[in-house]
Amino acid sequence: MALTVAIVGRPNVGKSTLFNRLVGKRLALVDDTPGVTRDRREGQARLGDLELTVIDTAGLEEAKAGTLTARMRAQTERAVADADLALLLVDGRAGITPQDEHFARLLRRGGTPVVLVVNKCEGRDCRFTLAEAYSLGLGEPIAISAEHGEGMADLYARIDGFAASLPSHEETSEQPEADPPLQLAIVGRPNVGKSTLVNRLIGEDRLLTGAEAGITRDAIAVDWEWRGRKLRLIDTAGLRRRSRVGAKLEKLSAADALRAIQFAEVVVLVLDAREGLEKQDLTIASLVEEEGRALVIAANKWDAVSEKPAAKRNLRDRIETSLPQVKGVPLVTVSALTGRKLDELLQAVIDIHESWNRRITTAELNRWLEEATAAHPPPAVSGRRLRLRYVTQVKTRPPTFALFTSRPENLPDSYSRYLMNGMRGASGLEGVPLRLVLRKSRNPYVRGSG
């Protein structure tokens, strides 16, 4: 069983850098700006032969109740309470500060064991800071450099010694994992209610929320289960128009959100129902389609819409007009605040995921092709009729089809769209991004053709 380890400390001491070092990936955003991390982020790590669940947390700071900083600190305190072990990081270059002393006192009062780690000790003499660190009353400190990977053996030895004292963490035989969780990314513009939606789905205040726009910075994954189906919900930072993204940190957050889309299976695009479908919403939806991900649109804050029938009709008309490449995409009107139609939203996610994975038999496809070409024959080019010989599905996720024709370079885009729309309706693939690859068919009367 993996040991749960929370990394805590004041801002800008290297918590996210150590988190990335342990998980072996650049998952958490790292920047010189203090307070980059806001939500707590979990990752699976290996340190030697130790399996760890590592939690990156926001910097510990004093704050007035009700402020964003206070909500960040509450998330950190919850992470420490849930962990088996806490690593308190201090900055070896800055020395021990009054903030370090204050939070060391808080951790000593808590019930979670603490290991004191002095970071940023690469290529320098940290003896003074290490000696000073004993004053925190947390035992012998460990000197490391999270950025360069120095001191990891000492950190392993300390965590391994702690793990050996916990009978609940004895090694057990590994069980093969059943079906992997469905990767579900929640995306949208800033302040449309993405984090509130995730919190309502899982039934706890796992993610920071508030009236402030742009609270979420990292793409935060939360494992969850709905009606026996495992889901990995990925909350992302709000995506603004590229021309409005200027700060380096916002660019990093946007890149993290785009990576979440690339690795997702289904993407829920959350929009503010009071504002309708804006240009940036369409840009995000087009990006999801280009990546070949299955898409569901959630019109959030529906409880605040007055003329609901007219608003839904306008939304559907705008989607059909502006997103013909995902004709029939599911639209669900929800309220993250009240929980309205969240089960319907999740059912739409499951249904479109099944369609995204669907495989159509070649016989069924060619029966449809025969009917489609009889109803609307392909155009003639230079007086010669294009011949569509047969079609077959070559892959799923998204469904991709190869169409063999006599002269693929001469088939108009408009006719390809006609075929894809017909295939979408006939095969029950409404709302799913499709790919149609044109291939030249072999002429049996030409020697060496094929």
Q: pTM (2 decimals)?
A: 0.73
Identify the pLDDT of residue 65: 62
pLDDT at 225 over 50: yes
Q: Do domains 3-169 and 182-356 have the same CATH topology?
A: yes
Give whole-number Cα distances, 83 to 19, 88, 233, 336, 342, in Å.
15, 13, 21, 29, 30
Angle, CA 14 vertex, CA 155 and CA 149 arms, to 5°:
45
Identify the pLDDT of residue 85: 93
The total of other beta-carbon atoms located within 10 Å of residue 441's CB is 17
Mean pLDDT of 9-36: 74
State the Cα–Cα distance between residues 177 and 444, nearest whole angstrom.
50
**Average pLDDT of the residues of the chain:** 84
Residue range 182-356 in CATH 3.20.20.210? no
Least confident of 7-21, 28-42, 268-282, 397-411: 28-42
Question: In the chain, what are the domain boundaries?
Answer: 3-169, 182-356, 362-440
State the Cα–Cα distance between residues 124 and 400, nearest whole angstrom.
56
Amino acid at 88: L
State the Cα–Cα distance between residues 218 and 235, nearest whole angstrom.
8
Mean pLDDT of 299-309: 93
CB 244 within 8 A of CB 214: no
In CATH, the architecture of 362-440 is: 2-Layer Sandwich (3.30)
3-169 CATH, one of 3.40.640.10, 1.20.1560.10, 3.20.20.70, 3.40.50.300: 3.40.50.300
Summarised one tens digit per residue, pLDDT across range 156-208 is 999 998 888 776 544 444 554 567 899 999 999 988 989 899 989 988 876 65
Identify the pLDDT of residue 210: 55
Instruction: Select the more confidently predicted residue: 443 or 179.
Output: 179
State the Cα–Cα distance between residues 25 and 41, nearest whole angstrom.
13
